[in-house]
């Protein structure tokens, strides 16, 4: 496993194509964008690399350009609890950045990824100066609250199909993860890590969801057929 510091050491300026994948840049005024873009950086965490670690001070606000990350925490007993996955288009840690706190969770790459970072002071400059950016952050925080309320409900679910359905609905959230679209490129093993089930059990649950026409399994990923059904179905 690469050292977590190497993610920071490998930072570079984003390409034009990578900038196009940052959803909130289009909400900035031209003069705001001109000031912000030169301060953005990207890096390429590999499988197992940490982007954020529990107890470390926040230095950037992060977003996923490509790949897949997971947000988790370790209990006192040493068990890892996964809160959610972060697919392309997802920006995370705005609450921690707003309060300038240390991280209370780990963010780790499940596959080779490209992650963008906005320096903390620049994040606060945008909060102070940009109406468009503030609206984006407000929507993020509102959706995030709903996400974690749903996560508490998931903790009490023993039905693997329902657990998988709700987790997939979260990963397809169009506000939090604008880059996913209708197809999520994810392996069954990656889903197993996120949902807390075995790969075999995930495979069985996916087939049930497909039978109910909620998803379609495609090469290299899943296509969403009924997002509302994934969020609300109770009959699986």
pLDDT digit string (tens) for the chain, length 236 residues: 344 457 888 999 999 999 999 999 999 999 999 999 999 999 999 999 999 999 999 999 999 999 999 988 876 666 667 778 899 999 999 999 999 999 999 999 999 999 999 999 999 999 999 999 999 999 988 888 776 666 666 666 678 898 899 888 888 888 888 777 778 888 888 888 888 889 999 999 999 999 999 999 988 889 989 988 998 887 65
pLDDT of residue 108: 93
pLDDT of residue 38: 97
pLDDT of residue 150: 65
Record the tokens describing residue 187, joined without a space.
């392996």
pLDDT of residue 158: 74
Say which DSSP state 15 is in.
P
- The DSSP annotation for 32-76 comes to HHHHHGGG-EEE-PPTT-EEE-TTPBP-EEEEEEES-EEEEEE-T
pLDDT of residue 143: 84
114 phi and psi angles, rounded to 5 deg: -125, 125
First-residue to last-residue Cα distance in the chain:
39
Beta-bridge partner residues of 177:
90
pLDDT of residue 44: 95
> What does the CA dihedral 59, 180, 65, 153 come to, rounded to 10 degrees?
20
Q: Which of 37, 48, 50 is nearest to 4 (CA)?
A: 50
pLDDT of residue 3: 46
Place of tokens 């963008």: 116
Q: How far apart are CA 80 and CA 90, in angstroms?
A: 22
């Amino acid at each position: 496993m690469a050292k977590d510091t190497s993610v920071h050491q490998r930072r570079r300026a984003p390409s034009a194509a990578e900038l196009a994948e940052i959803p909130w840049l289009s909400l900035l005024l031209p003069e705001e964008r001109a000031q912000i873009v030169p301060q953005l950086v990207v890096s390429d965490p590999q499988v197992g690399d940490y982007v954020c670690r529990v107890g470390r001070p926040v230095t950037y606000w992060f977003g996923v350009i490509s790949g897949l990350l997971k947000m988790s925490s370790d209990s006192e007993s040493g068990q890892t609890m996964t809160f959610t996955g972060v697919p392309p288009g997802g920006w995370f840690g705005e609450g921690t950045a707003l309060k300038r706190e240390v991280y209370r969770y780990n963010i780790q790459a499940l596959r080779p990824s490209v992650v963008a970072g906005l320096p903390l002071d620049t994040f606060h400059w945008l909060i102070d100066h940009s109406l468009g950016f503030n609206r984006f952050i407000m929507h993020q925080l509102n959706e995030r609250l709903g996400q974690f309320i749903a996560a508490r409900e998931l903790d009490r679910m023993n039905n693997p199909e329902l657990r998988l359905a709700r987790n997939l609905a979260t990963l397809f959230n169009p506000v939090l993860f604008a880059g996913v679209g209708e197809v999520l490129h994810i392996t069954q093993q990656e889903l197993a890590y996120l949902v807390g089930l075995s790969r075999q059990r995930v495979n069985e649950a996916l087939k049930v969801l497909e039978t109910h026409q909620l998803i379609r399994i495609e090469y290299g990923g899943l296509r969403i057929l009924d997002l509302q059904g994934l969020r609300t179905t109770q009959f699986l």
